[in-house]
Structure 1
Amino acid sequence: MRAVALRGPFSEIRATSDELVAEGDLVCERWTCRVRHTGEFMGLRASGERLEVLGFAMYRLRDGKIVELREVADRLGLMRQLGAL
């Protein structure tokens, strides 16, 4: 759900890496993505509101390259901010 997934209905996308922890071939990241709701998203009209999405990612590295990514984002928090819940 990082910036790439948010591009259609959202603009002014700013992603920050808040915390990184590495062990062996794994890197875990806690991130925040700040956006402005400027297009339809899941049936909700653009509100113009600034929103914040929180998430975690786990990267597996091999030879200095990312070979696996698992990611989770707080979609419930996003829907609450949009007034859908």
Structure 2
Amino acid sequence: MTDRETTIRIAEQMDEFWNERNLALAEEFIAEEFVGHMIGDDDLHGRDEYTAWAEGVAAMFPDFELEFEPMFVEDELLCGQWTLTGTHEGLLPDLGIEPTGKEVEFSGLFIDRLADGRVVEMWHQIDYLTLMQQLGAISE
């Protein structure tokens, strides 16, 4: 079981990693043996792929901000909803959508499993429907 202080530390590090683009923090809260289950995409394996994923998000939405709310803790699980706001300025490679310059706001869910003070496994879901509607790729 992961103690509450450790879980709070990890949540704070996640926020700084994503919102302040402090990618070096991955060393602190992502386990080397990390596996990220990305619904509809290939899984992420290891800290380097997690960091590369964050770099990819920043390339698509350079001014993005993430809000993690609400977040829940239960034993070794940290889970919640995130909302991304930003401007679409880079290619969305998985969807084949060229930059639109449109401002977007969409959400997703995550479940992180913790062990030894780090995230070892993640399940991640994005609301692609809302994103594609806001980009004009499909009608509302």
More helix by share: 2
**Which stretches in structure 1 are left out of the alignment for 5+ residues?**
none
Match of 1:66 in 2: 119
Match of 2:90 in 1: 39
Q: Does 1:50 align with 2:87?
A: no
Relative to its length, the structure with more strand (as a share) is: 1
User: Paired residue for 2:132?
Assistant: 79
Q: Which moved more, 1:3-12 or 1:26-35?
A: 3-12
Counterpart check, 1:13 vs 2:38: no
User: Take 2:63 and 2:77, find their aligned partners in 1: how far apart are those partners?
Assistant: 30
SS, match of residue 108 in structure 2: strand
Give the superposed CA RMSD: 1.8
1:28 paired with 2:79, answer yes
SS of structure 2 residue aligned to 1:77: helix
What amino acid does structure 1 have at the position aligned with 2:100? Answer: S
SS in 1 for 2:63: strand
- Identity of paired residues, percent? 32
TM-score normalized with structure 1 length: 0.84
SS at match of 1:8: helix
Would the alpha carbon gap of residues 43 and 59 (structure 1) be closer, same or farther in structure 2, given more than 3 Å must change? closer
**In the comparison of the two structures, how many residue pairs are matched?**
84
Residue 44 of structure 1, CA deviation: 3.4
Distance 1:6 1:58 in 2: 19
